Amino acid sequence: MSTPGLLLEHHDAANAPKMLDLMVPVYAASHADIIAADPFFHPDKFRERFDSHIQGAGFELVTGTLDGQLIGYAYGCRRVADRASAIWDKIRANLPGFPTPAEPEPIFIFMEFAVDPGMQGQGHGHAIHNALLAGRREPIANLFVRPENPARNKYMRWGWQQLAREKGPFDDAPIFDSLIKSLS
């Protein structure tokens, strides 16, 4: 799935930092409400987390550009097998019907995702989301979304399902819904 005129580009950890200054305004505009409410979401924190995230295994960023303007992005990285085992255990406990491997396999962590507010609701986000997940070789993906975030409904329509409601993976993180999606 793509949308007319949208240029989708993949960036690895070496190239992604060059995109950060273009991503931050999209982040700030698309998260304006929550930035005002919770310091965890301040754009400087986004930059700090990005610097840490790009060091993750298999880091990948997809940007969406329309008429020369970056209008959206999504990125994530791999949780390697031994560090992924807690997630597999949670899947076994909470979603007994979900297929799980005999030995823990890596999991793709879908970390950040945004589209400029003026460009939302036109399919660009879905195209960026799909472009990032399409080439991944991990069997499943995992993400955190605030329970009240309207994006949660999109994820549910795009094949994600709820695994748990829990505190995010940083000391100052709020409560998130943890969602998973099969990539096979």
Ligand X SMILES: CC(C)(COP(=O)(O)OP(=O)(O)OC[C@H]1O[C@@H](n2cnc3c(N)ncnc32)[C@H](O)[C@@H]1OP(=O)(O)O)[C@@H](O)C(=O)NCCC(=O)NCCS
Q: Could you tell me the smallest distance in angstroms from the CB atom of residue 157 to ligand X?
A: 4
- Shortest Cβ 184–ligand X spacing (Å): 21
Sign for the CA dihedral angle at 20, 142, 89, 146 comes to positive
Looking at the Cβ atoms of 104 and 160, the one nearer to ligand X is 160
Q: Which is nearer to ligand X, 87 or 114 (CB)?
A: 114
Closer CB to ligand X, 44 or 103, in the complex: 44
CB 110 within 8 Å of CB 132 = yes
Q: Which two tokens stand for residue 83?
A: 């560090």
8-state DSSP, 10: E
Taking alpha carbons only, the member of 112, 101, 126 closest to residue 74 is 112
Q: Which residues contact 54 (CB under 8 A, 6 or more apart)?
A: 13, 16, 17, 77
Token readout for 145 is 């979304």
Select 100 or 149, whichever has its Cβ closest to ligand X: 149
Shortest distance in whole angstroms from residue 102 CB to ligand X: 31
Binding site for ligand X (CB under 6 A): 3, 30-31, 113-115, 120-126, 145, 149, 151, 154, 157
**Nearest residue (beta carbon) to ligand X:** 125
Q: Smallest gap, in angstroms, from Cβ of residue 65 to ligand X?
A: 14
Tokens of 177: 């819904």
